[in-house]
Structure 1
């Protein structure tokens, strides 16, 4: 017997909620970066600059007209990522290559232990802190398409006043060691680019970021898309896989 997917009070599955949250992130980035944003019921497209084109499918069965728009967007050229959280479509004919990443959720519950000693996590509130967070993510994640780094390009100052969007820095023994982004959309908080700089890895920086964010957002579901390296940490914090997304690039 197949277990029905968990649904919110609004009737959306966990995977739909995670997808809407990711779309909210990219819409915020697109608008604050001054990029072209394409909004359709079945997809969101954000294009421009060194980020290239980002398309997120919002449903496993978008309307035919929405799905037909994907090739048009892709053929505009440049760097392309088509994110299909539902792994429902094949874009091989667009000469894109797939990779699969788990989408995870942590349901509301007690916060984990406090941030480990020697580490401090603070919310980004100034333009200088925002630039520091951007550099950490570009260099540590890394975001190779944004290298060499250009101030104001990755996280524009407009994000500081964007409702529902927050950034955080982790400091280890007085030195910036990590960063991440959080987005609140509907009833879900999403985490993105949980990053530790190479020289601070294996020192609990990623765990410190997660502990701080879960303490702040633990009263609601928290979603993320995991890398292979990050999944053991998320498993240990009570996240569970709700789907395997396919990213085409």
Structure 2
């Protein structure tokens, strides 16, 4: 019996989440045994996202496959996630960004999480912090705006409804969204994607005016406690978020290399 490692499960969840976005947007995609690619195409020069999902014996054949796809899709920009760290895409004009940890958390109770929704707590600095699931289009639009302005996503600013996260993404099985408010004002958000084996956490964001008030921790605790706590959870951590994730029980499985091509003249 072939048992997937936690890293492979995290890789598969990330690929599945991007495929859900492809279906919601109507984007092209390509699935191979060891990688998945999505042709993000809001604008002609939007970068495709290519995710390596399995360890490769030699990098050169995979580099050639990715180069062929990038040429086929006529991609000016692209982003490649390589959790195995063996690719060299400088020949394609890409730069290697600082590696980020792929982290997973084993199933189990979430310390400090509320058993009921909406979850309520006192925000640091005062005010009532609530977290609830976004179940309708208008609330999901608030989640989208919190991600665009809080993560942030400069390419999607100024925010337009549905430009980054279309409402029909909520119709994708396994996709759920979580919204945090302080005294009824939108403060932060995240998305989770459950693929039947792992619950992936994505786009954990706090709006600038509410940073340092415990918003991200409350949103993440609520999401973990209510989105299949019986499954492992996975995420890719930024340097700012990593301390929080470690406190919540996430451990590093690998450090993923991001290769990004953003030509100055594009």
Shared fold by TM > 0.5?
yes
* Cα distance, 1:184 vs structure 2: 0.6
Pick aligned residue for 1:227 from 238, 241, 244: 238
Cα separation, 2, equivalents of 1:67 and 1:14:
24
The 1:69–1:62 alpha-carbon spacing in structure 2 relative to 1, beyond 3 Å, is farther
In the alignment, does 2:19 pair up with 1:27? yes
* Cα distance, 1:79 vs structure 2: 2.7
1:58-97: CA deviations, max 9, x gaps?
Answer: 2121898765331123342333100112223221211111
For 1:43-122, what aligned pairs fall within 5 Å after superposition?
43-47=35-39, 48-50=41-43, 51-61=46-56, 67-75=63-71, 76-99=74-97, 100-114=99-113, 116-117=121-122, 118-122=128-132
- Give unmatched runs, 5+ long, in structure 1: 1-8
Pick aligned residue for 2:194 from 176, 184, 201: 184
1:45-67: CA deviations, max 9, x gaps?
Answer: 11112442111112121898765
Cα separation, 1, equivalents of 2:110 and 2:246:
15
Between the two proteins, the alignment pairs up a number of residues equal to 241
Cα separation, 2, equivalents of 1:229 and 1:37:
31
Q: Is the 8 A contact 2:63 2:88 kept in 1?
A: no
Give the CA RMSD over aligned residues.
1.8
For 1:124-143, what aligned pairs fall within 5 Å after superposition?
124-143=134-153
Q: Is the 8 A contact 2:83 2:254 kept in 1?
A: yes
Q: Is the 8 A contact 1:31 1:37 kept in 2?
A: no
Q: Which moved more, 1:106-115 or 1:196-205?
A: 106-115
In the alignment, does 2:18 pair up with 1:18? no
- Which residue is 1:213 aligned to? 223
- Give unmatched runs, 5+ long, in structure 2: 114-118, 123-127, 261-266
Structure 1 stretches of at least 4 aligned residues deviating more than 2 Å after TM superposition: 62-69, 72-75, 114-117
* Cα distance, 1:110 vs structure 2: 2.0
Cα separation, 1, equivalents of 2:84 and 2:200:
17
Cα separation, 2, equivalents of 1:168 and 1:203:
17
For 1:143-222, what aligned pairs fall within 5 Å after superposition?
143-216=153-226, 217-222=228-233
The 1:158–1:65 alpha-carbon spacing in structure 2 relative to 1, beyond 3 Å, is farther
Pick aligned residue for 2:257 from 238, 246, 249: 246
